[in-house]
Structure 1
Amino acid sequence: MNATANAFADKTVDDVRSYWNNRPCNIRHSTKEVGSREYFDEVEARKYFVEPHISQFAEFARWKGKRVLEIGCGIGTDTMNFARVGATVTAVDLSDESLQVARRRAEVFGLQDRITFIQANAERLSDFVPVEAYDLVYSFGVIHHTPHPENAIREIRKYMGSQSEFKMMVYNRYSWKVLWILLKYGKGAFWRLDELVAKYSEAQTGCPVTYSYSHNSVKELLQGFTVTKAMADHIFPYSIPEYKRYEYKKVWYFAMLPYGVFRMLEKMAGWHLCVDAAPSRL
C-alpha cells in the first residue's frame, strides 16, 4: 500500500511552505552562528556523516562543466557540492527562509557566480524557471512533500533533453522507519499510516504532506520517464536524545549488528528510495 492523494486532500502548497519556513531542513545541524563558515562546515559534516550514501547517489564529480537543476535545494548542502566541482546550478526551493540561508552559504564559499537561486513551487515549475534542457535534474527528499507529486514530475519532464538524467530520492513505504512509526506512534493502527508517516517523517513533527513509495509505485509516479535504477538505503541508527546533543550513540539493537549486516538491512528496508531515471523515448 502507498500513500494516496486523498490522505492529503486538504493540504496546500502554502501549508508546506509554512512548515519548512518555520524550520528549514538541517537548520539545527550546528550550534554555531547561522550564516558563518563554521556553521556551514558543521552542517555539511553532520549531514554527510549521518547520510553518507548521498554523495554516492549524487555523483557530484560527474557533473563538472554540466548544467544541474536542483528541485528543493533547502539550505544548500548538495547545491554547494555541485557548484564546487564546476557545475552550473539552478537551485529551486519553495521556502524563502531556506533560500535566504542557501544564498548566504554561496556567498561565504564564493560560489554565487555558479548558482542561480529561484523561489518556486515545483508543481508549477515552468511558471518560474525558463524551460530548457539540463544535464541533470536532481531532487533529494523533496517531491514526496508536495501535495500533488505527479504535477511536479510532469513539470520536471519539461527540463529533460534526450541525454538528461533525473536523480530523485523519495521515502520508501516498505522501510524500517515506516514500521517503527507505525509501532511506536500508531500502536499498530495501520489505517492511520499515511497520517502517522507525515506527522513523524521529519525532525520537526507535523509535516503536512509526506508520501511514501514502493519500487512499483515510484515507477507509476514517474510518467514520461524510464527508471534505470532504484535502490533503498539509509536507516538512522542513533538514539534521538543523544543525537540532539550532537552525540552519536547507536540504539542497542543497531549497536549489536555487525556493519555488514546493518548495510544489508539498509538495502532491504532503508528509508530513502534513491531513483535514477531517464526520459522515456516517445
Structure 2
Amino acid sequence: MSAFESKPIETVRDYWDARPCNLRHSTKEIGSRVYFDEVEARKYRVEPHIPSFADFNSWKGKRVLELGCGLGTDTINFARAGAHVTAVDLSMKSLELARKRAEVMGVADRITFYNANGENLSSIVPVEPYDLVYSFGVVHHTPHPDRAIAELRKYVKPGGTMKIMVYYRYSWKVLWILLTYGKGKFWKLADLVATHSEAQTGCPITYIYDCKEGQQLLENSGLRVTQTEVDHIFSYRIPDYVEYRYVREWYFRWMPNSLFRFLERKFGWHLLLTAEASK
C-alpha cells in the first residue's frame, strides 16, 4: 500500500487552490486576453509535444471530456478546434480562471465546467459517451489513480479514445530530484518526487510509472493501450526561467537537437498513453 493512499483529497485540492498550475506563466493582468495568450505561449514553448499528443483538430465536432483542466489551456484549444468539451477540475480557483478564459476567448458556449474529484466523477458529471477522454498530468496527483481511471472509463464510448499523461519513473527529472534534493537517498524517492514534482514545492501526492505500470493502469479498466511514448526534459536554467528568460543549462546547450530529442524520448518526464475502448 502506498503512503499516498491515506492522504485526503482535500490536501490536493488545497495545494492547487493556493496556486493553480501555470498561474505565473505571464506577468500581465490575470484574466486579461494578453495574460491568457502568454500563458498558452509559454506552456507550449516549454512543452511543445502537447498539441501533437492532444491532436486538437482531430476532435472537431466530437465530444471531449477533460479531467484536470487547470487554467484551461488545452480546454480552449479543443473548443477552438470545434469540439464540445466537458472540463473538470478539483480546484475551484482553477475553474474560475478557466471559465473566465472561455468567455474571453469566445468559446464558452462549447464548454461545460464541473468542480469534481476524479475518483468519484460519476457522482457529479452525468455519465454520457465521449469520443475522447483526456487528462494531462493529473491522474498521478490523486490518492487512488486506479479509481480515477475506472471512473473515466465509464465515459469512453465504444471505439472511443483515452489519452493520459502521467509522470515517468525512469526520467531525467526523477534522477535530478534524487541527486539535487535527495543527495542520493533513493529510499526517500516517493516523498522527494512528490515534494519537487511541480513548479511550486510541496505537492502532497505524485505517483510515477514505468511504461508497463502505465499501460496496466489503463488496461485494468478494460482499455487497450495503442501507443506509449516518453517525452519532455525541462532544459532551462530555473533562475532565468522564472524571470521569463529561456537559457538552457550548459550541459544541454552543446547538444545537437537530434541528441536532445533522443534523450527526451528515452528519459522524458511525461509518459504519454493512448488507449481505445472496444467497440
Q: TM-score, normalised by structure 2?
A: 0.98
How far the C-alpha of 1:160 sits from its partner, in A, is 1.3
Q: Deviations over 1:104-163 (max 9, x none)?
A: 000001111000000000000000111111000000000000000010011011111112
2:212 corresponds to 1:216: yes
2:226 corresponds to 1:228: yes
2:47 corresponds to 1:44: no
The corresponding residue for 2:254 is 256
The corresponding residue for 2:30 is 34
Q: State how far apart, in whole Å, the 1-side matches of 2:108 and 2:223 are.
A: 32
Give the SS at the match of 2:6.
coil
Q: State how far apart, in whole Å, the 2-side matches of 1:161 and 1:108 are.
A: 31
2:109 corresponds to 1:118: no
How far the C-alpha of 1:7 sits from its partner, in A, is 2.7
**Structure 2 counterpart of 1:278, from 272, 276, 279:** 276
Measured on the aligned residues, the alpha-carbon RMSD in Å equals: 0.8
Alignment of 1:64-143 (within 5 A): 64-143=60-139
Alignment of 1:52-71 (within 5 A): 52-71=48-67
Q: Deviations over 1:178-231 (max 9, x none)?
A: 001001111111100000000000000000000000001112211111110011
Give the SS at the match of 1:231.
strand
Q: Is the 8 A contact 1:68 1:134 kept in 2?
A: yes
Q: State how far apart, in whole Å, the 2-side matches of 1:16 and 1:71 are.
A: 14
Q: Is the 8 A contact 2:17 2:94 kept in 1?
A: yes
* Structure 1 letter corresponding to 2:258: G
Q: State how far apart, in whole Å, the 1-side matches of 2:133 and 2:152 are.
A: 8
Q: State how far apart, in whole Å, the 1-side matches of 2:87 and 2:204 are.
A: 23
Q: State how far apart, in whole Å, the 2-side matches of 1:132 and 1:92 are.
A: 14
* Structure 2 letter corresponding to 1:119: N
Q: Is the 8 A contact 1:82 1:89 kept in 2?
A: yes
**Structure 2 counterpart of 1:170, from 166, 172, 175:** 166
Q: State how far apart, in whole Å, the 2-side matches of 1:227 and 1:181 are.
A: 29
How far the C-alpha of 1:40 sits from its partner, in A, is 0.3
* Higher mean C-alpha deviation, range 215-224 or range 46-55: 215-224
Q: Which runs of 4+ in 1 moved over 2 A?
A: none
**Structure 2 counterpart of 1:145, from 135, 141, 152:** 141
Q: Is the 8 A contact 2:215 2:273 kept in 1?
A: no
The corresponding residue for 1:25 is 21
How far the C-alpha of 1:9 sits from its partner, in A, is 3.4
* Structure 2 letter corresponding to 1:40: F
Matched-pair identity in %: 63
Segments of 5+ residues of structure 2 without an aligned counterpart are none
Give the SS at the match of 1:89.
strand
How far the C-alpha of 1:19 sits from its partner, in A, is 0.2
* Higher mean C-alpha deviation, range 157-166 or range 92-101: 157-166
* Structure 1 letter corresponding to 2:174: V
Q: State how far apart, in whole Å, the 2-side matches of 1:153 and 1:177 are.
A: 24
Q: Is the 8 A contact 1:7 1:194 kept in 2?
A: no
* Structure 2 letter corresponding to 1:175: S
Q: State how far apart, in whole Å, the 1-side matches of 2:273 and 2:143 are.
A: 20
How far the C-alpha of 1:94 sits from its partner, in A, is 0.3
Q: TM-score, normalised by structure 1?
A: 0.97
How far the C-alpha of 1:280 sits from its partner, in A, is 4.7
Give the SS at the match of 2:227.
strand
* Structure 2 letter corresponding to 1:238: Y
Give the SS at the match of 2:40.
helix
Q: Is the 8 A contact 1:8 1:209 kept in 2?
A: yes
Q: Is the 8 A contact 1:7 1:195 kept in 2?
A: no
* Structure 1 letter corresponding to 2:254: M
Q: State how far apart, in whole Å, the 1-side matches of 2:6 and 2:260 are.
A: 38
